[in-house]
């Protein structure tokens, strides 16, 4: 595996009883002291279409298996499983601030697409199955954030909105690191001309729409998100790529586009420092 990206796989538990959940990391976030994970679909308790590390019972998976998967994720991130926080994601730009005294049920009932916190005994998380997960850490304040950027969220500006929220926590002087996780690649992301046009306008990035694949355009979400991060003030050497195409690698990733309603969901999470 390429050492300059974040494709390091870690066993999250010391023995088989605890389970072994596979995840990917960003070297830059790790070096900055942030415990985090982009979980793959390997190393969980689920079976069938949801094999094995699925983080949603709403898609049809057994609740006990999903609960076990969250337990294994908590081991990986070093927090209790009931301190893994995620929102009811709506493909928008709303960012929610975690104070640390909320319950996971309270937060999961709230709509939004990014979580920010500077409380160290929890993990800010998002669930994805083709959309772009982005994890953030501010080395000055210790605050962290997780953003869910589907194409609608990319157009709405959830990435810069998350940076703005971290700026407020730090008093306007953050030093941010950001890692862009596995998602649907340009090779798989075929869209309508109308969607392509909206995405092309969402940043100053050039050549994000590719017509060479056939009659319909393909769009490079990674390049757009990178450009949005730069435009929001994140330094180029503070952005990491965690590679992987959710559609094209069925042995490693779930994909809604590939598998439809019976697709599992990944978890990506980060713990404030």
Is the pLDDT score of 15 beyond 50?
A: no
State the pLDDT at residue 173.
83
Whether the CB-CB separation of 93 and 153 falls below 8 Å is answered with yes
Whether the CB-CB separation of 92 and 109 falls below 8 Å is answered with no
Residue 92 located in a structural domain: yes
Residue 9 located in a structural domain: no
What does the pLDDT look like over 112-143, one tens digit per residue? 999 999 999 999 999 999 999 999 999 999 99
For the record, the structure tokens of 245 come out as 């195409």
Number of domains in the chain: 1
Angle 60-70-126 from CA coordinates, rounded to 5°: 80
Which strand (E) or helix (H) includes residue 197?
helix 193-200
Residue 43 located in a structural domain: yes
Per DSSP (E only), the strands in 9-143 are 23-24, 36-39, 84-85, 95-98, 114-117, 123-128, 132-138
Which strand (E) or helix (H) includes residue 13?
none
State the pLDDT at residue 18.
45
What does the pLDDT look like over 242-273, one tens digit per residue? 999 999 999 999 999 999 999 999 999 999 99
CATH code of the domain containing 233? 3.60.140.10
Helix (H, G, I), strand (E, B) or coil at 88: strand
Residue 84 located in a structural domain: yes
What does the pLDDT look like over 173-198, one tens digit per residue? 889 999 999 999 999 999 999 999 99
Residue 213 located in a structural domain: yes
Residue 14 located in a structural domain: no
Residue 260 located in a structural domain: yes
Domain of residue 81, residue span = 23-270
For the record, the structure tokens of 105 come out as 């049920």
Evaluate if pTM is beyond 0.75.
yes
Residue 58 located in a structural domain: yes
Is the pLDDT score of 2 beyond 80?
A: no
Instruction: Please give the DSSP secondary-structure letter assigned to residue 125.
Output: E
Is the pLDDT score of 1 beyond 50?
A: no
């Amino acid at each position: 595996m390429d050492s300059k990206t974040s494709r390091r796989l870690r066993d999250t538990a010391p023995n088989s009883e605890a389970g072994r959940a596979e995840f990917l990391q960003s070297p830059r976030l790790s070096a900055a002291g942030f415990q985090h994970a982009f979980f793959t679909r390997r190393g969980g308790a689920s079976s069938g279409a949801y094999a094995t590390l699925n983080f949603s019972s709403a898609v049809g998976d057994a609740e006990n298996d999903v609960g076990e998967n969250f337990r294994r994720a908590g081991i990986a991130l070093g927090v209790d499983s009931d301190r893994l926080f995620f929102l009811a994601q709506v493909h928008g730009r709303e960012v929610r601030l975690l104070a640390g005294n909320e319950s996971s049920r309270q937060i999961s009932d709230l709509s939004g697409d990014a979580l920010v916190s500077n409380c160290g005994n929890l993990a800010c998380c998002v669930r994805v199955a083709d959309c772009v997960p982005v994890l953030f850490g501010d080395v000055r304040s210790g605050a962290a954030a997780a953003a869910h950027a589907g194409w609608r969220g990319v157009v709405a500006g959830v990435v810069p909105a998350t940076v703005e929220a971290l700026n407020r926590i730090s008093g306007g002087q953050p030093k941010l690191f950001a890692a862009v996780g596995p998602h649907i690649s340009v090779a798989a992301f075929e869209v309508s001309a109308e969607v392509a046009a909206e995405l092309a306008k969402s940043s100053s990035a050039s050549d994000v729409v590719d017509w060479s694949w056939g009659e319909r355009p393909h769009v490079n979400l990674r390049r757009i998100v990178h450009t949005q991060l730069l435009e929001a003030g994140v330094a180029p050497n503070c952005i990491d790529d965690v590679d992987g195409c959710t559609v094209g690698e069925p042995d490693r990733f779930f994909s809604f586009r590939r598998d439809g309603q019976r697709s599992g969901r990944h978890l990506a999470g980060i713990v404030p420092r």
